[in-house]
Structure 1
Amino acid sequence: MEQIVKIIIAIFWYLFFVKIFLFWLWLWQLKNYHLGRFKAHFEAQKIKKLMAAWYRVKLPLATKKTIFIAGLWFVLQGAFFWLIFSQSDSAFRLLILLWLFFLPIITSVFILIFQIPAWLWQIYMMKKAQAKRAQFKNLTVIAITGSYGKTTTKDFLSAMLSEKFSVLATEKNINAEIGIAQTILHKLKPEHQVLIAEVGAYQRGKIKQVCAMLQPQIGILTGINEQHLATFGSQKNIIKAKFELIEALPEQGTAILNGDDEKLSISNLPRTVRSAHCNSFGIKQFSKNLQVKSKIFCSSETKADFWAEDIKIEKEKISFTALSQDGDQARFAINLIGRQNIINVLMAAAVAKTLGLTMAEIALAGQKIRSHSLKQGISGLNILDYTYSANPSGIIAHLDYLKTAWPQARKIIVMPCLIELGSASKDAHYKIGQAIGQICDLAIITTQDRFKELKQGALGAGLAQDKILLLEKSEQILEKIKATTRPGDIILLESRVPSALLALLQDMNDRSHNATLKNINQFL
């Protein structure tokens, strides 16, 4: 009888440890097996997040890598239990407790060991992709990097260039080295004339490596903020990392830069891209002498090489006149949401014009661009869905859109605290809180990490104490929204909110038109 009880206990602990291992494997996969990103996850509420593996069930995305790692772990853990089962009851219990205590470290080391062959395989794949890219002598390669706006700029540019060229672009939010390499190896065909690649990074040197593979002739720098400061270490490192793209361009290349971004001032630029003089069409302190043939600054705020005038922001449309220094201009009317999209359209349009399209052709192509962020919600509510990711600049831009386009509606924001902002985190959250306090009628924060700073900023800007709440469960959030709103109000969902919330809020009719929608996993 005692032996049977011991077997049952052993099976229970084995399955419990499997659950814990799968949680850590999920988290490492979520952080791209990047030590800096993994460490940044525990910047706040360390104990709670360490204990999360005990009570949360998370499964990693099934890939060849995760299946192999998990399968090997199950076998090795089974061997461990077989060895300790023959021990005395007291020794068995002690070994179980020790295994439980050290499991986060053991599993992390085990998972990271497999990063060595994965890293070698990645280098091999990138070399293969580089060799294949070199065979396409007439291919125009456009690389896009920045702290924000990469995916939208890529999508806009792809839509514009597809009117005249055969275009291949990296899919969705693929921006890591291996994803770009696989795009080249598996999808690049002789008929392609243009390759557009979104390039992301969490540390210096990565963009340089990707550019060695891509050999881009055109580079777009969408903007720089505090995103991933925790992994880069400093704002200067972020700036230097992003400018690796510009430095990688050939002398006959073209650099497209966001002239609205103050962080691209000459005082912040790496010395390798600074100039002794600055000819900037009213953009204060911007360098115009990067070591490339063509340097195009775009601006939605002032005259530049490529700029916008007569801007009009509506609920589901932006319109403006785009002008360039050669006198070409056209009126753009695009089904996009928010002023922040204008600079992305301008940068994409600047590339399209560089490749031979007229402003009128670009404006016509822009009419095909659509935004899928605004959805119909239950009870006549409007849902502004930005649940993939978030950064400080994006959130403030989305709040500004609510203020401009929805003056009569009640405005609610649901968001977690942002991650990987490092030393800038407190200040960034305070500023977001200020914007929330000025614009929103209700704020629901789903994680506690920087709730204090968000609340301080919101209260300081005039939001009532009971209008900024910390709620983690979808049902609680939905109940509060229903009690606060009326038809016609708008809810802004930012970053990884509770996974079931979007499904609960979205109107059934609208949901039927989005059958392929997959909710983002809750990340607390």
Structure 2
Amino acid sequence: MIILSKLIFLGTLGYLLKVRLRTLLAYFQQEEYDGARYIGALQTVRLYDVRASVVILVAVGLLMLNAPAIVLLIAAGALGAIAWMESKYRFKKPLAMTERARRIYMLAAALLVLPFLFSFYWTIFAVVAIQLAPFALIAANQMLAPFQQRINDKYIVEAREKLARMDPTRIGITGSFGKTTVKHILAEILEGSAPVFYSRGSINTVLGLTRHIRGRLQWSHKYFIAEMGAYGEGSIDRLCAFAQPNLGIVTAVGDAHTERFGSIDAIARAKSELVAYVCGNGGTSVINAEILRHAPFARLKEKYGARVITVGAENADVIVNAQPAAGGGWVIGLHWADGSQADVSFELPLLGDHNVMNAALAVVLTLHVDPDLLDDLPHFTKTVSQIPHRLQKVESAGAPLILDDAYNANELGFKSAVATLHDLAKERGGRAILVTPGVAELGLEHDTVHARLAKTCNAFCDTIYIVNPNRIRSFADGLDQTRVNVVEVASFFEARAKIDANITPQDVVLYENDLPDLLEEQRFL
């Protein structure tokens, strides 16, 4: 009996350190090591342990009742089965065991040793140790924070000095949405002028830019494009102090990330920090004319005049008009209201009407930087590459058309993508199939936005797979099931399996906003 109890002890230790702690660290990393947000996730995603704790408690009870050895063997086997199943779980964003993650993991494991050692004598303490695991990660991160900050500061200084030595023309891009797409379009067009450096994917923080600058920036780069994300007021100011942009683009101010900021007004103030910095240092900013309705931008336009170039369908410095082109792209025209630039017309092969403004912003800044590109501009825009996971067409012969909009995170882009889905499905003679878990970080606007999205989907979709419907109940309840076939699923994996069993080559499938593991589904650990 003693041997069996020790077997359960060792099995629980292996489960805690080799499986449980790594699972929790993966979620902690997805929350960017933010302890407060992680604590919230413990409840919403159900990261507290249930299965192993119940097995251990049952085993303790059986030991007290002098249960037969076979029962304890079954308990030990159950722990092994739980550990095996958890180790096989497929994260969409698996744990990246970076040096920082490794340090947090090792220190958290050390912090759990003491409470777990007590379980050698009192097995109940194994349950205590398991339940303390997420808090051990938070504590380890806090304890390592000064050390981590010293490392970060060293790398940031190196990157800032390297950027200053090479001194390329620096362009900052921010906005509630569209900034990554604008960055990619701008980079491809500007390559016609000189080599361009830009951060890959959605890298938009000081540390992310630091890593790319230290590893990739070369003397040959004449332009440096920095995507700038904001997690609160002051975020853009810090990025500007680091990158010191000469030029800026602001794509939009919307309800994306309202949960972080608290209000649209706070978002507007945060995004305006880029314009204030650039124009305050003698540079020029190109902005979506719609954001002038927000007071911070209206004041900056009044203060800096022509150094803030507005782009819009009307009442703007540069007027945009667009017509759909064959295959889902656009023919876009630009007219400078003051006549300072000749009218421009170009083709854009990207889907979605929201990309009209994205392209217009990029082209206006390009011609401000290098007017000599005017004649070659139609060639560069016509060959702009699809941006991965941003309404990207995935086509193959004899297969349905896939629209990958996994990175979308705003109402405007969602509606644009669904409208594109409808048009392409009608063109192919197939069904318009939407797969979505909704939009994240909307704060108090969560239910209102999802109710509006449901109305749009009623008009444009034939079949909708709702991922984790309990998170977006207002969306699910707003769908008209007399017009739309609604299927509720727990995850994208389940949706794909159901779609594959009932799909035709004429159908079009839109994967809209693939949320991280933390938001997609609740777990039963």
1:155 to 152, 161, 184: 184
Mapping of residues 356-371 of structure 1, within 5 Å: 356-357=370-371, 358-371=373-386
> For this pair of structures, how many residues does the alignment match?
474
Write the deviation string for residues 264-288 of structure 1: whole angstroms up to 9, x where unpaired.
134x223xx543xxxxxxxxxxx73
Are the counterparts in 1 of residues 174 and 228 from structure 2 also a CA contact under 8 Å?
yes
Match of 2:8 in 1: 9
Out of 192, 202, 223, the residue aligned to residue 194 of structure 1 is: 223
Q: Which residue of 2 aligns with 1:374?
A: 393
- Separation in 2 of the partners of 1:9 and 1:445? 41
Mapped to 2, the partners of 1:377 and 1:253 lie a distance apart of: 46
Q: CA deviation at 1:181?
A: 1.8
Structure 1 residues 122 and 302: alpha-carbon distance in aligned structure 2, compared to 1, 3 A threshold: same
Alignment of 1:242-257 (within 5 A): 242-249=271-278, 250-257=280-287
The match for 1:307 among 284, 307, 319 is 319
Is 2:355 aligned against 1:341?
yes
Instruction: Please tell me whether the aligned partners of residues 24 and 108 of structure 1 are also in contact (alpha carbons under 8 angstroms).
Output: no
Cα deviation for residue 306 of structure 1 reads 2.3
Q: Distance in 2 between matches of 1:9 and 1:111?
A: 30
Which residue, out of 45, 49, 60, partners 2:95? Answer: 60
C-alpha change, 1:52 and 1:160, in structure 2 (3 Å) is farther
**In 2, Cα distance between equivalents of 1:251 and 1:3:** 74
* C-alpha deviation, 1:484, in angstroms: 5.2
Superposed CA deviations along residues 81-104 of structure 1, whole A, max 9, x for unmatched, are: 34542x2xxxx2221222233333
Equivalent residues of 1:222, 1:257 under 8 A apart: yes
Shift of 1:227: 1.6
Cα distance in 1, alignment partners of residues 16 and 229 from structure 2: 34
**2:479 alignment partner AA:** A
In the TM superposition, what are the counterparts of 1:199-238 in structure 2 within 5 Å? 199-238=228-267
Distance 1:475 1:38, change over 3 A: closer
- What is the correspondence of 1:495-510 to structure 2 with a 5 Å cutoff? 495-496=513-514
SS at match of 1:383: strand
Alpha-carbon contact 1:413-1:494 (below 8 Å) kept: yes
Normalising by structure 1, report the TM-score: 0.82
**Contact 2:454–2:478 (8 Å) recurs in 1:** yes
Report what 1:297 is aligned to. 310
Instruction: Give, in whole Å, the separation in 1 of the partners of 2:191 and 2:485.
Output: 46
CA shift in 2, pair 1:478/1:390, >3 Å: same
Q: Which has the higher helix share?
A: 2
In the alignment, residue 44 of structure 2 is paired with which amino acid?
K
- 4+ residue segments displaced more than 6 Å: 52-55
Q: Aligned partners of 2:128, 2:314: CA distance in 1, in Å?
A: 63
Instruction: Indicate the residue corresponding to 2:28 in structure 1.
Output: 28
Aligned to 1:283: none
Distance 1:337 1:136 in 2: 36
Q: How does 1:421-460 map to 2 (within 5 A)?
A: 421-459=442-480
**Do residues 269 (structure 1) and 285 (structure 2) align?**
no
Query: Considering only CA atoms, is the larger Rg found in Structure 1 or Structure 2?
Result: 2
Letter in 1 for 2:283: G
Q: Percent identity?
A: 22
Q: Which range moved further: 343-352 or 317-326?
A: 317-326
- Asked if 2 retains the 8 angstrom alpha-carbon contact of 1:142 and 1:197, the reply is yes
Q: Counterpart of 1:321 in structure 2: which amino acid?
A: G
Q: Counterpart of 2:185 in structure 1: which amino acid?
A: F
Alignment equivalent of 1:320, drawn from 312, 327, 332: 332
Checking the alignment, whether the CA contact within 8 Å between 2:230 and 2:236 is kept in structure 1 is yes
Shift of 1:376: 2.6
Q: Which moved more, 1:149-158 or 1:53-62?
A: 53-62
Pairing of 1:373-392 with structure 2 (within 5 A): 373-376=392-395, 380-392=399-411
Distance 2:466 2:14 in 1: 34
C-alpha displacement at 1:338, in angstroms? 1.6
CA distance in structure 2 between the partners assigned to 1:297 and 1:365 by the alignment: 23
Give the structure 1 partner of residue 196 of structure 2: 167
Larger mean CA deviation between 176-185 and 194-203 belongs to 176-185
Residues 133, 213 of structure 1: 8 Å contact kept: no
Which has the higher relative contact order, 1 or 2, with Cα contacts under 8 A spaced 6 or more apart?
2
The 1:107/1:381 distance shift into structure 2, 3 A limit, reads same
Whole-angstrom distance in 2 between the partners of 1:329 and 1:116:
55
Q: Does the C-alpha gap of structure 1 residues 498 and 211 become closer, same or farther in structure 2, counting only changes over 3 Å?
A: closer
CA distance 1:304–1:195, change in 2 (3 Å): same
Q: Any idea what SS the aligned residue of 1:32 has?
A: coil
Give 1:406-485 correspondences, 5 Å limit: 406-407=425-426, 408-459=429-480, 463-464=481-482, 467-473=485-491, 476-478=494-496, 480-482=498-500, 485=503
Q: What is the rounded CA distance, in whole Å, between the counterparts of 1:172 and 1:52 in structure 2?
A: 37
Among 81, 93, 105, which residue is 1:70 paired with?
105
Q: Is the 8 A contact 2:320 2:334 kept in 1?
A: yes
State the AA in 2 paired with 1:255: S
CA contact (8 A) 1:157 1:348 kept: yes
Residues 276-307 of structure 1, C-alpha deviations (whole Å, 9 max, x = no match)? xxxxxxxxxxx7324376111112x3363223
Structure 1, unaligned runs of 5 or more? 276-286, 500-519
Residue 257 of structure 1 aligns with an amino acid whose one-letter code is I
Distance 1:52 1:181 in 2: 41
- Aligned residue for 1:360, secondary structure, equals coil
Question: Could you tell me how far 1:454 is from its partner in structure 2?
Answer: 0.5
Query: Partners of 1:344 and 1:427 in 2: how far apart?
Result: 26
Distance change (3 Å), C-alpha of 1:225 and 1:205: same
Q: List gaps (5 residues or longer) in structure 2.
A: 53-81
- CA root-mean-square deviation: 2.9
Bigger shift: 233-242 or 102-111?
Answer: 102-111
Where does residue 517 of structure 1 map in the other structure?
none
Residues 33 and 368 (structure 1 numbering): CA distance in 2 closer, same or farther, change over 3 Å? same
* Structure 2 CA distance for aligned equivalents of residues 227 and 40 of structure 1: 20
Instruction: Report what 1:110 is aligned to.
Output: 140
Alpha-carbon distance in structure 1 between the residues aligned to 2:361 and 2:374: 13
Q: Distance in 2 between matches of 1:66 and 1:521?
A: 21
